Amino acid sequence: MEQGIYELPLNERLRTFMRIEFLFSRLKNFSGSKDHWQIRTTIHTLLEIYTILARTDVRREVLADLDRYIIQMQRFQSMPDADNEMATNLLEDLNVIKEKMIQLGTGYLHPLRDDDYISALLHRHTLPGGKAEFDMPRYKFWLESDAKAVKEDLNQWINVIKPICGGIEKLMWIIRESSDPIGTVATSGQYNHQIGKTAQISLIRVFLDNASVYPEISGGRHMIAIRFLERNTDGQFIQTEESIEFKLSLC
């Protein structure tokens, strides 16, 4: 049975990163298809990512995190029991990503913002069904045009956001790998964990092998609460009375 992993970010920066990471995964999943409906999903996802990137200075936050982890890796290299090969490789990756972020510049979204076709799609983006064929005949025409040209257009637009999305993927990998999961038990479906005053936790991860329940996670600066819910015979979700074994990682 595949292990279920449930996560909760504890700050707005990480919530933004994880939303972009989720959308970029969906975009990569559909972007290689020639099916018109899947191309529509790709475009819709691209517009969602653009909307997030356009309203917050994600690039600045990515650069700040890259600088922080580069300093940490440099310090780690000087430790006597450090895995120098791993640290060196990771440091090289971080520096490459940082250089790409710098080269992007603050106006990296201009190619999308200034594209009249993308602008027209964005204008209809928040309207339910706003990109229907009768609303946007140009969209229908583009979808049904030469497949190679459609693919080239998609790649051109995706390449605008690809560097920053790739940087976020790397940062999220580092955050997740920063803590090993520890086995524990939720008595009667409830688990509470007090966070130490000096702990710097930004992400809660729950690893679960039990497919009959799912965790509802809440957390703040001082306390984490996890309760496991199951579906009863009436189809409602209630807290289980069973003790649930799971693994917890505080990153």
pLDDT of residue 2: 57
pLDDT of residue 129: 85
pTM of this structure: 0.92
pLDDT of residue 57: 92
Q: What is the CATH number of domain 12-177?
A: 1.10.3900.10
Cβ within 8 Å of residue 109, ≥6 positions away: 50, 53, 54, 160, 161
pLDDT of residue 81: 75
Q: What is the CATH number of domain 182-250?
A: 2.60.440.10
CB 52 within 8 A of CB 16: yes
58-84 pLDDT, tens digit each: 999 999 999 999 998 888 877 777 677
pLDDT of residue 172: 97
pLDDT of residue 1: 46
Ranges of each domain in the chain: 12-177, 182-250
pLDDT < 50 positions in the chain: 1
142-168 pLDDT, tens digit each: 999 999 999 999 999 999 999 999 999
